[in-house]
Chains A and B, each alone.
Chain A
Amino acid sequence: NAGVTQTPKFRVLKTGQSMTLLCAQDMNHEYMYWYRQDPGMGLRLIHYSVGEGTTAKGEVPDGYNVSRLKKQNFLLGLESAAPSQTSVYFCASTTDRGPQETQYFGPGTRLLVL
C-alpha cells in the first residue's frame, strides 16, 4: 500500500496562474480532506469530501475548488493563484466509521506563489 500520495511535491506559480494538486489514496477510504499549513497556524481545513461525487467547505475554502470524481482521488484547484496561497498543502483520508477514526496524511505539496 502506498497510503496517501500527493502530486506534485513542490511547485512555483506566478500570481494569476492556475494549477491542480492531486491526492490519491489506495485504502478505499470514503472521506478525504485538503488542509493548508502555515507557520504558527497549524493545519486548517480547506475542503473535504465524504464520498465520490461529494464535496464540502472547510474553514478556509475561498480561492480553492475541489473535485472527487473517483473515490481514490481528491483534486484541489487554484483558479487564480495569489501570494496568500503560498503554503504547504496536505491531503488526508479516513474511513466512514466515525470521527474517532485516524486520518492518514500524505507527504505534502509545497506551493510558492510569486
Chain B
Amino acid sequence: AQSVTQPDIHITVSEGASLELRCNYSYGATPYLFWYVQSPGQGLQLLLKYFSGDTLVQGIKGFEAEFKRSQSSFNLRKPSVHWSDAAEYFCAVDPRTGGTASKLTFGTGTRLQVTL
C-alpha cells in the first residue's frame, strides 16, 4: 500500500545541535516530496520540496533535505537548531498519478522540542 512514514514521533535536541528528521515513502514511482512545518496553533508552512533534478534541496529557515531514491527517503536536516525551530514537522508526498491536481498524503508528523 502507498504510504508515508515518519518513524520518529517526538525528537528533542539541544539548541545549536544538528537535526535530522526521517521520512520514508512507499510508492511505485518517485513522488513529489514536501516538508511542511506547523508551529503551535498555526497552519502549515512549506519548508522545501523536491520534484526533479538535484537531490539535495535547500529550503527556508536554513533547512535542507536529501532525496535518496535507493532508500525511498527524503530526510530533513538542519546543521544548527534554534529554539524557534520547535514545532511539528510533516513530510508529504504527491504520487504523480496523473492530472494536474495536487493531492498530498501526509506523514503522521514529528514533534521537535529544542532545549536551551
Q: Which residues of A contact B (CB under 8 A)?
A: 4, 31, 40-45, 48, 50, 58-59, 90, 92, 94, 96-103, 105-108
A-B residue pairs, 3 tightest by C-beta: A105-B43, A42-B106, A100-B51
Stretch at the interface among B64-72, B75-83, B97-105: B97-105
B32 cross-chain contacts in A, Cβ below 8 A: 99-100
- Which of the residues A45, A97, A106 comes within 8 Å of B43, measured between beta carbons? A106
Instruction: Please determine whether B104 and A41 come into contact, CB atoms closer than 8 angstroms.
Output: no
Q: A48-B101, A58-B103, A105-B36 are in contact. List 4 more A-B contacts (CB 8 A).
A: A40-B9, A42-B109, A100-B51, A105-B45
CA distance A101 to B100 in the complex (A): 10
Per the CB 8 Å criterion, the residue count for chain B at the interface is 27
User: Taking the nearest CB of chain A, how far is it from the CB of B74, in angstroms?
Assistant: 14
B90 cross-chain contacts in A, Cβ below 8 A: 42-43
CA distance A107 to B41 in the complex (A): 7
User: Taking the nearest CB of chain A, how far is it from the CB of B84, in angstroms?
Assistant: 18
When A42-B90, A42-B109, A44-B106 are in contact, do A99 and B44 touch as well, CB less than 8 Å?
no
Judge whether B22 is part of the interface by a CB distance below 8 angstroms: no
Instruction: Please determine whether B106 and A97 come into contact, CB atoms closer than 8 angstroms.
Output: no
- Which of the residues B43, B92, B96, B101 comes within 8 Å of A108, measured between beta carbons? B43
Instruction: Please determine whether A107 and B42 come into contact, CB atoms closer than 8 angstroms.
Output: yes
Instruction: Please determine whether A96 and B100 come into contact, CB atoms closer than 8 angstroms.
Output: yes
User: Taking the nearest CB of chain B, how far is it from the CB of A32, in angstroms?
Assistant: 11
Instruction: Please determine whether A31 and B44 come into contact, CB atoms closer than 8 angstroms.
Output: no
CA distance A57 to B49 in the complex (A): 25
CA distance A98 to B103 in the complex (A): 10
In the complex formed, the residue of B with least CB distance to A107 is B43
- Which of the residues B43, B102, B108 comes within 8 Å of A4, measured between beta carbons? B43
In the complex formed, the residue of B with least CB distance to A9 is B41
